[in-house]
Amino acid sequence: MLEKILGKDPDEVFAYMTARMLIIRDLLMSLIDWSLQTLIVVYVIFYCFLILQRYNIKATWDGYIYYRITGKGYSETDGIYYPWDHGDLVYPEQDGNGFNLGVHCYRVDGQQMGYCTNACESDDDCSDKEPYEYKVCTDNGYCKSLTWCPDLASISSSELDESKIYGVGNFVINLWAGIDFPQFDTDEYVNYESKKPVSYPEEPATKYTINDILSEAGIESMDEVRKTGAIIEIIIDWKCKTKETTCDPTLSVARLDGASEDHPVSFTRSNHYYKDGVLTRDFKKFIGLKFMIRSEGLGYEFSLLQTVLQISSGLALLKLMTTITDFIMLNLYPNKKKRAAFKKFKVEESVDFTDKGNRIDYIRFLRERRENQPNEE
């Protein structure tokens, strides 16, 4: 009935391909196969699951930082001590990326506007770049180019007022940080849940001294950076299991600059005022510490989909290792005779003998019937 409907033998219509299973009893091939299989098991279980934790779904995000610096230092000139507090040394007072902190100061006081750059003997020695510079040589021997005098480029280091500022390492920085992971629709995680500041090295710390930060960066003394300055990166790093309501961050600190006196880390400040009716400026150049602060984190939670995906990948790799073993056996086996013997027994397509079995049964039936019939003599 089915054969009439299909117009063909059902065994041909619903046939499927299969392969013969060949067992090779060879010590070398067994070692190769088991080594590859073991490698995959170790990779999936230890590396993917235990180290990378790929059974989790993960997301990264940037948090926020708020800081406050307080403290007081001092410098000494001719036996007189001068105070320097955070209002003098910290710039900018608040910024999303960090701040500068001066540790050594060069200053020029009482600058007033005048002509003190580009020396000349005649008008031809000057350039016509109005309104910055005119083609005019003034009576004092400089081109008519208005600037602050004395000009900083013409002052040697020995002529600058120098202040070595002490006590900066005792300045206190309060770091308040937070983060959330909108991919998981979580609440905000913060490091300042306690009403009182937590001093380093307690966890989660929110209060550090500058010496604490420098020590974490590998700088043992402020004298190491007094003439070179330094760029310090502070990262508040979060690793949060988003199913939990609390998460404490860790602090990592690294020094990024090359510690060069020829190109020190510096910033400048100036103060403008009128003296005897003339606009006057006090200029300060600070060698200092540049702190770059970031809050960033990783949120994760268990995912059944990721777990199934990793297991499926592991099973597929196990099958791939079997294919690689077969390739080694057929093409790279060191014994040529055995390699040739292996190729004779490699997996090939075979003829479908399904209908032949039915015919054999029918022939056997005819033979038995003929043997049971009486002889006609």
**Residue 330 token pair:** 């057929």
Q: CA 49 to CA 278: how far, in whole Å? A: 73
Q: CA 118 to CA 247: how far, in whole Å? A: 61
Of the candidates 300, 213, 229, 233, the one whose C-alpha atom is nearest the C-alpha of residue 268 is 229
Q: How far is CA 246 from CA 184, 191, 249, 252, 294, in A?
A: 15, 10, 10, 20, 20
In this prediction the pTM is: 0.69
What is the predicted pLDDT for the residue at 351? 54
What domains can you pick out in the chain, each with its CATH number? 2-55+304-343 (no CATH), 62-102+164-266+290-302 (2.60.490.10)
Kindly tell me if the per-residue pLDDT of 254 is higher than 90.
yes
**Residue 320 token pair:** 């791939």
| Section 200-213 average pLDDT | 89
One-letter amino acid at 343 equals K
Give the confidence band of 377 by pLDDT, cuts at 50, 70, 90.
very low
What is the predicted pLDDT for the residue at 372? 76
Is-contact 151 187, C-beta < 8 A?
A: no
Least confident of 29-38, 253-262, 351-360: 351-360
Q: Return the top range by mean pLDDT from 106-115, 260-269, 354-363.
A: 106-115
Is-contact 282 108, C-beta < 8 A?
A: yes
Q: CA 178 to CA 115: how far, in whole Å? A: 52
What is the predicted pLDDT for the residue at 83? 93
Least confident of 41-45, 184-188, 270-274, 361-365: 361-365
